[in-house]
Amino acid sequence: MRRCISFPHFKAVAVAGVLALIVLPVSLTVAPADAAVATTKHNLSVSGTGTVKATSENQICVFCHAPHNNYPSGQLWNRRVGTSYTPYTSSTRKSVAGQPNGASLLCLSCHDGTIALGEVRNRTTNISMTGGVTTLPAGNTNLGTNLSDDHPVSFVYDASLVAVRGELAAPTALAPPSKVRLDGSSQMQCTSCHNPHDNTNTKFLAIANTSSALCNVCHLKNYWSVSDHKNSTKTWNGAGTTPWPHTTGTTVAANACENCHRPHTAGGGPRLLNYAAEETNCMNCHNGNVAAKNIQTELNKTYGHKVATRTGVHDPAEAASVATAHVECQDCHNPHAVNATAGSVPGGSVAPTLPGSQVGVRGISISGTEVNPATTEYEICFRCHADGAANTPSPSFARVIAQNNKRLEFQTTNPSHHAVAGAGRSATVPSLLTGWTTASRVKCTDCHNNNTGRYSSGTPSAPTGTGPNGPHGSTYPNLLERQYVTTDNTAESAANYALCYKCHNRTSIIGTGTNSFKEHNKHIVGERAPCSVCHDPHGISSTQGTTLSNSRLLNFRTDVVTKSGTQAIRWERVGTTGGKCYMTCHGENHNGYSY
């Protein structure tokens, strides 16, 4: 026989339910777990301490929550929500860029700036706000409906995403007791990083983001533990634009990720960069106001890598061999990896080992395949100066053998090449200065470098330059670190050919009784022919040249040298330092001349 509830029992239950509803608003206001919200900007009631608050409403939680008539029910929500947003997306995003949902959609009901703050579901009219405020005032917290410049939300964060994206923490790291956590659907939401009831860490952050501790819960960037951007204690000297416009950190280490990135309303949306112009994110520190060396000054010189001429062309997902001509700091530097570890010195046994400033960058090997990461400097240079369509810049001169692919010019099987990818072909180079041998390796930056760099003056064993190293900018053409005059009929001097004399002994080259090519003095001093008339400094491809005609980097400029009759312009090697010339130069017919 079914039992029924007695009237007195039912009455008691009903009365208890009514009492619960009566006291619920008070409970929502003073619940110990959320009591801290009363002292934050999220208290929009008349008791709020912020500038945006109600004129008379005294309930705190009502602006977000209601015990009945709520949507969605999971959060006892008391607000309607927006319908369409432009989500964050980028070429490197691996998660699905869908519409906000769950807690993120609820946060946006205020923070998209389209719904009145006082528009709640359990009131027949909107709650009035002081000063006639309706929607969230303009500012950094008003995100709008375009979320392409905000950290992505409402995507599934699971093992599959970690596997395909890489450099992410395992989903288990975002479960309790972690304060940074996923929602019940394993999705990343606004509430993963923000606790809307507690502003202890400012900006309602789940944990303090000093030294990017919050960012690093999820993002485990390769090399980051040794990066200067994580560890440097450098401070801003107060000059120019503040490098940290949206943080309170006063050192590079304290700002960490936020030296370059901004999680909301970022200037450069696809990478959440502080500024849309890529180089600006670097130059706020590397203009001498934080970092010791002023790279900005170098980039402003006449010749160099002009990072400011293009914006938005560089893409981390582009092929290693660059197809569209551009250059940005990130093409040569990995900002998550850069550190102050010194690189090799010219002529040293460790060349061409990468310095810490170029660790973690992709490149193209001497065989033409992608390497990630590059292990030598020339592999990074080959990204633009080898097989890519950019293949820039164009050669300075027309030569008998035309070639602009530096990877082909530096092949170790070539009849001659500067010793970049491997030791040079010749076992005898009597003009080399002390510190260099025929087994030495050189780097591209031994010649192409800032003209104020560490090795821009002095010998390899005694560097005296004071400026930054690297091919950023120079006052000399072709981004050379020293003078290398190429104009025909130039008087020989140590200054005019300083770049050549950096490694090659001037006395050995042009002195009497020299053990180098004996006619150097006649041609360079007497005929005033620049080194570049005869020598192609990078090398001559084995598919185009021969050891008979193109050893010793010989590849004549056709703007100075012309044919002798109908025969091809050439030089033929005889013995160790001798040869024969077949050409006309400076009006003189060298038809089989022997030297």
Average pLDDT, the chain: 88
pLDDT, tens digit, 9 for 90 and up, residues 325-351: 899 999 999 999 999 876 543 333 356
Q: What is the pLDDT of residue 73?
A: 60
Q: What is the pLDDT of residue 18?
A: 35
Residue 94 within a domain: yes
What single DSSP character describes residue 567? B
At 193, the amino acid letter reads C
What are the structure tokens assigned to 494, written together? 């140590």
Spatial separation of the C-alpha atoms in residues 91 and 558, rounded to whole Å = 46
Q: 576: buried, middle or exposed (CB in 10 Å: 19+, 13-18, 0-12)?
A: exposed
Q: How sure is the predictor about 36, in pLDDT bands with cuts at 50, 70 and 90? A: confident
Sequential DSSP letters for 273-319:
BSSSSHHHHHHTTTBTTSSSSBHHHHHTSSEE--GGG-SS---TTS-
Residue 161 within a domain: yes
pLDDT, tens digit, 9 for 90 and up, residues 205-219: 999 999 999 999 999
Q: Would you say the C-alpha torsion 463, 467, 472, 477 has a positive or negative sign?
A: negative
Q: What is the pLDDT of residue 268?
A: 87
* Arithmetic mean of pLDDT, 369-391: 91
Residue 118 within a domain: yes
* Arithmetic mean of pLDDT, 589-593: 87
**pLDDT higher than 60, residue 450:** yes
Q: Check if the beta carbon of residue 219 is closer than 8 Å to that of residue 168.
A: yes
Enclosing H/E stretch for 228: helix 228-231
Residue 585's alpha-carbon distances to 159, 493, 519, 560, in angstroms, are 70, 21, 14, 6
Query: Any residues with CB less than 8 A from the CB of 37 and at least 6 apart, and which?
Result: 43, 60, 61, 196, 197, 198
What's CA 141's distance to the chain center, in Å? Answer: 27
Q: What is the pLDDT of residue 33?
A: 44
The residue segments making up the domain with residue 166 are: 20-217
SS3 at position 539: strand
The long-range contacts involving 182-185, CB below 8 angstroms and separated by at least 24 positions, are 182/157, 183/102, 183/103, 185/102, 185/156
Q: Is the peptide bond before 352 cis (omega within 30 degrees of 0)?
A: yes
Residue 248 within a domain: no
Spatial separation of the C-alpha atoms in residues 507 and 501, rounded to whole Å = 9
Residue 449's alpha-carbon distances to 141, 334, 445, 479, 489, in angstroms, are 44, 19, 5, 6, 26
Q: What is the pLDDT of residue 17?
A: 38
Flag whether the pTM goes above 0.95: no
**pLDDT higher than 80, residue 564:** yes
Spatial separation of the C-alpha atoms in residues 106 and 77, rounded to whole Å = 8
Residue 199 within a domain: yes
Sequential DSSP letters for 162-203:
HHHH-SB--GGGGSTT-SS---TTSEE-HHHHB-TT--TTST
Enclosing H/E stretch for 24: helix 7-30
Enclosing H/E stretch for 591: strand 588-594
* Arithmetic mean of pLDDT, 14-38: 46
Q: How sure is the predictor about 486, in pLDDT bands with cuts at 50, 70 and 90? A: very high
How many independent structural domains does the chain possess? Answer: 1
Residue 179 within a domain: yes
Sequential DSSP letters for 470-528:
SSSEESBGGGBSS-----SSPPP-TTTTHHHHTTB-HHHHHSTT-SS-TTHIIIIIIS-
**pLDDT higher than 90, residue 56:** yes
* Arithmetic mean of pLDDT, 189-198: 96
Length of the chain: 595
Residue 48 within a domain: yes
What are the structure tokens assigned to 95, written together? 């998660």
Residue 287 within a domain: no
Q: 125: buried, middle or exposed (CB in 10 Å: 19+, 13-18, 0-12)?
A: exposed
**pLDDT higher than 50, residue 226:** yes
Q: Across the chain, which distance is largest between two alpha carbons, in Å?
A: 128
Residue 295's alpha-carbon distances to 87, 238, 300, 369, 427, in angstroms, are 35, 18, 9, 31, 39
* Arithmetic mean of pLDDT, 311-316: 92
Spatial separation of the C-alpha atoms in residues 284 and 240, rounded to whole Å = 8
